[in-house]
Structure 1
Amino acid sequence: MTCAPDQWSPYSGNRRAIVLAFDVGTTFSGVSYAILEPGEIPKIHGVTRFPGQEHVAGNSKIPTIMYYDRAGNMQAAGAEAEGAAIIDLALDEHWTKAELFKLRLRPSSMKLNMNGIRLPPLPRNKGAVQVFGDFLGYLYRCTQNFIRDTHANGSGLWQAVEDDLQIVLSHPNGWEGAQQTKMRRAAVYGGLIPDTDAGKARVRFVTEGEASLHACVLNGLANEVLSNQAGHGFLVADAGGGTLDISSYAIRGTNPLVMEEIAPADCVFAGSVFVSRRAREFLEVKLSKSKYNAPETLDHITKRFDETTKRLFRDKKDLQYVLFGSPLDKDTSVGVRSGQLKLTGAEVAALFEPSIEAAVASIRYQIESTGGFVKSVWLVGGFAASPWLFSQLQERLGPLGVTVSRPDSQTSKAVADGAVGFYCDHHVSARMSKYSYGVEFLREYDPMNPDHVARRERMCELPSGPKLLADAFDCILARGVRVKESNVFTRKYCTEVTNLSTLAVFEVEVWCYRGGDAIPQWIQRGQENFSTLCVVQADLSPLAGAAQSKPGKAGRSYWTIVFSVEIHFGLTEFKARIKWVDNSTTKAVNAPRKMT
């Protein structure tokens, strides 16, 4: 597919360029790109030909799977890895199948319920970042070959721009700076960019929710809201293989098109893969006393369920059949006849129910967070093709006065197309902070405050005399705050040191609190709601020359150092830095040295 929206501006660069958008999904992946010609409106193209899929015209998605040999070398990927010859060879050679590896990059704060089934093991000598990088590298090579083969003078075009290719990587709404850092490392490992500051700067990130928003604009789903922007807000629900990403927006202008996020984005593990996992667990129990209870057979029946029943299911009143064997397969005690497993509609509906409940709960929360301003839900992503998911969201959200719609075009490639749209002409001018961000500071001890008295074992004394309590949380940016791309959130601090040599390695931890809207008074170390987001290091030793010592208690000299901590998000990437003044000159360390 090729598309060029009316809302876009001509490319303002002075030389030809290419932007590649990689959508590595939990179960399926795709690539879109645009050739940027100076003065021309960009057009989005999709990579529609992959090895092993040449017979499927226009297919823009491949399975997110790979096979590794026993030495840890990738031997097959994507559609090729599902070919009968590869599967047979993998069994003979004892290859390891890598799948669902994207879920291993998730933040530790996002708990994963696999219904008793563990994530598949990683290949030998490979971590999750390396496996992710291998798959990125595979998609990159496929894209390179596709552009060379399908464009006039494609080889010359690629050669002219390959040293400055712009990369957009999409990720779930719930991923943060640490996951972006891992994805950048994976891009280096996969050969997309060199391991240099300039190379890493060529990678941008966009949430899957925001990429899907741009896709909705591209395919016209937004036209009704755009024509009546004062009427209500809208919500984009990207239902993929692993996550459901929920984002709410309002129109702030139409020429040019400008939108703002109006509630903190949400991300829940409620994608289609969890329906499959529940099906596998259900089948294991249902067929436990039959000859079909072997793991390989259960895997095969689950795969057939994925390919047919899960995709087509639309009415829990109808019987459902999973065709998995030959006409000779029969065991009426478990519902098998003529190679088909009979299931009731209620049994299949129950496999969907936890994902549907999670989707409805998340959407309801967004609606409530906006005071009922959201009236439209746009459902996109591979799981959006499910008639049952679509009808249930319509039925359960209808009483709230919310309409649910989905584009007629292929919803599964929305993220890749939208990621290109984000790069070319991003429409979102402001976002809502998802969590509270701040730093640890020392709070003055109040002997009349019971809370302070209970924490007196954490009390310390500054060289100048005041008694202070450690572990206090000072919020720099609270949850639910409207953040424009140009906004910088700053707080000024001072510290006292008794040894100037400690300024050479000056560190500040930036903390993230995920526990809700209320700002906590104290950092609860070891609790799930609190985590270190990054550590910023700076060499403040040049300040030693101008610092003036002061007499402290017990005759000890000390120096007062003043600095600021800044937080900003740029487009969709978190950054923090330390600023200080040295001889009337403002200096700063601009990027986190460590993302956790």
Structure 2
Amino acid sequence: MASEIVVGIDFGTTYSGVSWAVNGGTKTIRLINDWPNPNSTVANSDKVPTKLSYKDGKPHNWGYAVDYREESFRWIKLLLDPKNRIGRTAEAVLTSTKLLGAMNKSAEEVAADYLKMIWEYTKSDIQRVRGDSWASIYTLRCVLTVPAIWSQVAKEKTLKIARMADLPENLSMVTEPEAAALAVLKEKTSEEDGSLEIGDCFVVCDAGGGTVDLISYKICGLDPLQIEECAIGDGGLCGSVYLDQAFERYIKTIVGEEEYKAIKERDKKKMLQEFELSVKRTYSGDDKPYSVDLRGVQDNLDDGIDDDTITLKPSVLQTVFDHVIGQIMRLVEKQIDEAQERGNRVKAILLVGGFGTNRYMHRRLKEAYKRSQIQILQNNGAWSSICRGATMWGLENSPNSTYTKKTVKARLARYSYGLCYSVPFNESKGHLMQDRWRSPTGTWMARNQMGWLIQKGDRLEDGRVMTEQISTPVQVSMFSSGTRAFLQELYYCADDDPPPRREISVKEFCTVNYGIDCGKLWHEESFKDPTSGEKWRHAKFDLMIALDSATLHFVVIYRKKPVAYTKAKYKEEM
């Protein structure tokens, strides 16, 4: 059997990262940090900008090679999730949306073109390390990371762009916070300070460019490391790009809307790049003056504008940071409360992701949790932890894996998942008259009743599969030919206590269409409609649902064989 290389890709809003390892021997993870950079004075960077420019309708420059004078796509990831309303008002997203129209391209096409550039460079990196004949020695397995708060539609789009970008068929997804937790906690177990103990609970705050995801884990074992989720994950659209947005709004206010519009696009981009590198990354809440350059802006000494330079007032800068960090702190507090309500004592908050390296965020959280003695930890390599964790996850979850136990032992369901049934009508059970109907068997039934296979907060052991048998009345005769079409819908609900009936909070998750040969259906148990005398048959199906880190697998089984799986059509939220 050919050896395997596992590649972890963190496709981010502002920056992306890649790491890989050979699934054998020491399984040493190599982080790509020598990205093509024509203007660099810094030798290496753990990640590469998620930027792409086009020339004559074809991809031109990507990553660090994109010049600020070029028209380029930025923050394109925010357009992949239909639920994301906030990000669409950002200047960079509006510019990208306008460019999509001008170039007659979709967000998926641009994301796929960018991912293709990353993938080609990754293969050249593997070639440099493993030699020219690597492709005949190794098979490739790829793991893509996605925000935990993303809708299923956005996750499906991610798989679609991966296929468009010619990534390997052997492709999986893992949520960003789970990948980050895997990297950080595994590295902590290799430290010799005994800082991890069985029963310890950690809140992982993955603060990236677009999204902030929170997930909490309890340590169940140390050798090997085993963890399980101990609070229902949460998150929000309050990543560092919203700092850029707030900062740009402030600049517009002091410069004036009309004057700001008149400034050249490349000069605005240069200013935002300076804010990113010289202000955003280093700000620690001090009174130190910060400034950015903006060519073409009129002097206004009262507002700190002089000779194309804008001096930022410490109070204004703090307000900009507090607005976004305040939202993250509320999410952290909610996650800690949730973990403690479930009987866990939180030992530390692990900050990961690009924004997770911010010193001011560390300071604010440290001040907030000083009394409760919860430590705030920022590890080295926090920026690249997601892609390294994705590679680790891929190594553990590979069919070729030599790991006996997976690190993540159990997860908690973020939603309830279920089916909509008709059940025998019973007014004493609260069934409504408007749901009453008469079935072919002559029984009065209540439609729109929910059967919840997974309830929000359920502890789901890794690899656990939920099964449910359903029976559908069909009319077929011994002369029927061809296939009979069936449709099965799966629903979800975000309520803590999902309702027994299909109400407004119960949303359609996905639909599976499948067909069964009429010749097989004719052999099913038959019955007669007592009123019409028509003959019907009971078609029995087993439905199977399995949840892993980022994917829900919904399979329909008929006579012990799968008839529909992973071909689900996911409902896009409006």
Would you say 1:565 and 2:543 are equivalent positions? yes
- For residues 403-435 of structure 1, the C-alpha deviation after alignment (integer angstroms, 9 at most, x for no partner) is 11111x232111111111112234111111110
Q: 2:51 aligns with which of 65, 72, 80?
A: 65
Q: Are 1:18 and 2:5 matched, yes or no?
A: yes
Residue 285 of structure 1 corresponds to 253
Contact in 2 for aligned 1:63/1:79 (Cα 8 Å): yes
Match of 2:401 in 1: none
In the alignment, structure 1 residue 314 sits paired with structure 2 residue 299: no
| Alpha-carbon contact 2:205-2:213 (below 8 Å) kept | yes
- Report if aligned partners of 2:294, 2:309 keep a CA contact under 8 Å in 1: yes
For 1:403, the equivalent position in structure 2 comes to: 375
Provide the rounded CA distance (Å) in 1 between the counterparts of 2:459 and 2:72: 43
1:535-554 paired onto structure 2 within 5 Å: 535=512, 537-539=514-516, 541-552=518-529, 553-554=531-532
Q: What is the letter of the counterpart of residue 475 of structure 1?
A: W
User: Which residue of structure 2 aligns with residue 435 of structure 1?
Assistant: 415
Q: Is the 8 A contact 1:326 1:339 kept in 2?
A: yes
1:570 to 1:292, Cα distance in 2 relative to 1, 3 A: closer
Measured after TM superposition, the shift of residue 144 of structure 1 is 1.7
Distance change >3 Å, CA 221–CA 448, structure 1 → 2: closer
What residue in structure 2 maps to residue 6 of structure 1? none
**1:208 has 2:176 as partner:** yes
> Any idea what SS the aligned residue of 2:231 has?
coil
Q: Residue 149 of structure 2: which of 151, 174, 178 is its match?
A: 174
CA contact (8 A) 1:226 1:254 kept: no
**1:358 CA drift (Å):** 2.2
The Cα of 1:103 is off from its aligned counterpart by 1.3
Match of 2:211 among 234, 243, 259: 243
Deviations 1:159-180 (A, max 9, x none): 432xx21111011112354333
For the residues of structure 1 that align with 2:156 and 2:87, how far apart are their CA atoms?
25
**CA deviation after TM superposition for structure 1 residue 479, in Å:** 0.8
Q: Secondary structure at the match of 2:86?
A: coil
**1:464 Cα deviation (Å)?**
0.9
Contact 1:378–1:406 (8 Å) recurs in 2 = yes
When the two chains are superposed, the root-mean-square deviation of aligned CA atoms in Å is 2.8
Equivalent residue number for residue 109 of structure 2: 130
Aligned partner of 2:546: which letter?
A: H
How much does 1:226 deviate? 6.2
Q: Does 1:356 align with 2:325?
A: yes
Letter in 2 for 1:67: S
Instruction: State how far apart, in whole Å, the 1-side matches of 2:281 and 2:150 are.
Output: 28
Cα deviation for residue 330 of structure 1 reads 3.5
150, 160, 167: which one aligns with 1:192: 167
Q: CA 1:264–1:219 in 2, change beyond 3 Å: closer, same or farther?
A: same
Which structure 2 residues correspond to residues 124-523 of structure 1 after superposition, within 5 A?
124-149=103-128, 151=129, 154-161=131-138, 164-193=139-168, 199=169, 202-220=170-188, 223=191, 227-288=195-256, 294-295=262-263, 296=265, 297-315=267-285, 318=287, 320-325=289-294, 330-371=299-340, 372-407=344-379, 409-425=380-396, 426-447=406-427, 452-453=432-433, 456=434, 458-499=435-476, 504-514=484-494, 516-523=495-502
* Aligned counterparts, 1:6-155, within 5 A: 15-37=2-24, 40-53=25-38, 56-69=42-55, 71=57, 73-82=58-67, 87=69, 90=70, 96-106=71-81, 108-109=82-83, 111-113=85-87, 117=91, 119=94, 120-121=96-97, 123=100, 124-149=103-128, 151=129, 154-155=131-132
The CA deviation at 1:60 is 2.4
- Superposition deviation, residue 52 in structure 1: 2.3
> Taking structure 2 as the reference length, what is the TM-score of the superposition?
0.87
C-alpha contact (below 8 Å) 1:66/1:99 kept by paired residues = yes
How far the C-alpha of 1:518 sits from its partner, in A, is 0.4
Q: Alignment partner of 1:517: what SS?
A: coil
* Structure 1 residues 291 and 492, CA gap change in structure 2 (3 angstroms): closer
Cα distance in 2 for partners of 1:571, 1:381 equals: 18
Structure 1 residues 133, 116: CA separation in 2 closer, same or farther (over 3 Å shift)?
closer
Q: Does the 8 A contact of 1:49 with 1:146 survive in 2?
A: no
Query: Mean alpha-carbon deviation: is it higher for 328-337 or for 425-434?
Result: 328-337
Q: Does the C-alpha gap of structure 1 residues 381 and 548 become closer, same or farther in structure 2, counting only changes over 3 Å?
A: closer
Instruction: Confirm whether residue 589 of structure 1 aligns to residue 558 of structure 2.
Output: no
Structure 2 distance, partners of 1:359, 1:218, is 25
- 1:444: how far off? 3.4
**Counterpart residue identity of residue 413, structure 1:** S
Unaligned runs of 5+ in 2: 397-405
Q: Match of 2:155, as an amino acid?
A: Q
Aligned length: 546
> Which amino acid in 2 is paired with 1:128?
A
Secondary structure, in 3 states, of the residue corresponding to 1:178? Answer: helix
User: Could you say what secondary structure the match of 1:368 adopts?
Assistant: helix
Amino acid at match of 1:558: W
Which deviates more, 302-311 or 275-284?
302-311
The change in CA–CA distance for 1:512 and 1:326 in structure 2 (over 3 A counts) is closer
1:263–1:369 CA contact under 8 A, matched in 2: yes
| Structure 1 residues 473 and 289, CA gap change in structure 2 (3 angstroms) | closer
Read off the aligned partner of 1:274 and give its amino acid letter: Y
* Alignment TM-score, normalising by the size of structure 1: 0.84
**Is the CA contact 1:266–1:362 (under 8 Å) kept in the aligned structure 2?**
yes
Cα shift readout 1:22-65 (whole Å, capped 9, x = no counterpart): 1111000111011234xx12000011222225653222211101
CA shift in 2, pair 1:468/1:355, >3 Å: farther
Task: State which drifts further: 331-340 or 26-35.
Answer: 331-340
One-letter amino acid of the counterpart of residue 42, structure 1: K
Please give the per-residue CA displacement for 1:96-136, whole angstroms capped at 9, x wherever unaligned.
Answer: 52111111222x44543555655421533322222221111
- How many angstroms does 1:570 deviate by? 4.3
* AA aligned opposite 1:420: T
Q: Offset at 1:302?
A: 3.2
Identity of aligned residues (%): 23
Post-superposition shift, 1:301? Answer: 3.1
- Is residue 327–residue 338 contact of structure 1 (8 Å, CA) maintained in 2? no
Q: Distance in 1 between the 2:270 and 2:262 partners?
A: 10
* Pair 1:555-2:533 in alignment: yes
Greater displacement, 248-257 / 540-549: 540-549
